[in-house]
Structure 1
């Protein structure tokens, strides 16, 4: 006799939590995420449908397969995954579980999702992240990003949280997590879909900090080149 799973008909989509790496397309026109485990080779957008990573033709999630998106019920459980060395630069996602799903003790495996909020952790130096910068790795056509403060950018390809939310679209909110805030205030913690309709004062402050960091880096490079003079040798 074939056992049937009990059916649920929720009045609203369940909420789940997961971690992922933010990614930026090669042409800089799109933003999304890539998973940290089974589906890590397949970047996805804010609103996305799952497919079988093994190339099988069944619909995800299949009861006898591992395919489908995965998330946990509890935010604290997802945050704990960020403690491992390989996941320190990942972001915390709050998602709406859409379509067919299978409920487990600790989470869901499901067919479709909408990423509602992405919480960005601190820079590697401990400061609040001012941008998402090139992490030094990626997937074909996609560059992985990691949280960075303005002082640690050093000319790397980067996008502000407001810019990432704008490129990702679909109403995504980007939240800056805890960190050491610089004296005098620092960057605002939240940017969101309002950036698509024109940047406000908080977003402009973040963009200005990003531009200032790039300007400081270029000035330091010009100063270094100036020390050697036009012929390449040291002046003096």
Structure 2
């Protein structure tokens, strides 16, 4: 006799929480995420289907495998994972569980998901994040990103929170740790499709880059013409 798991048919898709690292494609045209454990080498988009990370041909999630997306039921549980040293730069994701899923005591393992909200923590200096900047690591074709304030971004490749949401698409919202949301389409009454939070973040980013360039020019002036070299 073969035992079968009980089936659920909820009226609305379940929701859950997980952590992940934000990533930006090499050409800067796409945004996504990569997991912090199993399957972390495979970036995924805002709306994505799971596959078996072991290369097996069965559909995820398979009952006798540990493939598929993973999330927990409780937001506080996911937030607790951000306390570990290796996960400090990750972001908190609110996800909708789609397709087939297997329910566990703490969460789900499932076939398809939609990332609804990404909550970005503070910059490493403790200030509120204004952008997501190059974190110094990546995957083939993808740059890993981490939260940065306007004063710490300097000349690194970066994208504003609103810009990351637009590149991610599919209704993604990006929220700073302070709770200031940055919707994809901007707030009503925004200029050029952007609202006040997005414009403030863009202005802070531009000012930080200007300060960095002015510092570089000042160093060149101090060294004199020709960098001190004689012909």
- Does the alignment reach a TM-score above 0.5? yes
Give 1:88's aligned residue. 88
Cα distance, 1:200 vs. partner? Answer: 1.9
Pairwise mapping of residues 126-137 of structure 1 onto structure 2 (< 5 A)?
126-137=126-137
Alignment of 1:112-151 (within 5 A): 112-151=112-151
Mapping of residues 1-236 of structure 1, within 5 Å: 1-178=1-178, 189-195=180-186, 198-233=193-228
Q: CA–CA distance in 1 between the matches of 2:29 and 2:18? A: 25
1:75-110 deviations in Å (ceiling 9; x for gaps): 000000000001000000000000000000000000
**C-alpha deviation, 1:201, in angstroms:** 2.3
Return structure 1 stretches of 4+ with deviation > 6 angstroms: none
RMSD, aligned CA? 1.4
Contact 1:165 1:195 in 2 (8 A): no
Task: Tell me how far 1:114 sits from its aligned partner.
Answer: 0.2
Say whether the 8 Å CA contact 1:13–1:96 is kept in structure 2.
yes
**Following the alignment from structure 2 to structure 1, what is the Cα–Cα distance between the partners of residues 117 and 227?**
50
Deviations 1:127-154 (A, max 9, x none): 0001000000000000000000000011
Q: Aligned-pair distance for 1:193?
A: 1.9
Task: Confirm or deny: 8 A CA contact 1:123 1:129 kept in the other structure.
Answer: yes
Whole-angstrom CA distance in 2 between matches of 1:37 and 1:195: 33
**CA positional deviation for 1:195:** 3.7
Instruction: Give the unaligned 5+ runs of structure 1.
Output: 179-187
In the TM superposition, what whole-angstrom CA distance separates every residue of 1:16-45 from its partner, at most 9, and x where no partner exists? 000000000000000000000001000000
- What secondary structure sits across from 2:19 in the alignment? strand
Please give the TM-score of this superposition, normalised by the length of structure 2: 0.95
Secondary structure at 1:115 match in 2: strand
TM-score normalised according to structure 1 size: 0.93
In the comparison of the two structures, how many residue pairs are matched? 225
Give yes or no for contact 1:166–1:195 (8 Å, CA) kept in 2. no
Instruction: Please give the alpha-carbon distance, in whole angstroms, between the structure 2 residues aligned to 1:198 and 1:230.
Output: 45
Per-residue CA shift, 1:180-224, capped at 9, x if unaligned? xxxxxxxx8110121497112221111000110011001101101
- Distance of 1:195 and 1:88 partners within structure 2: 28
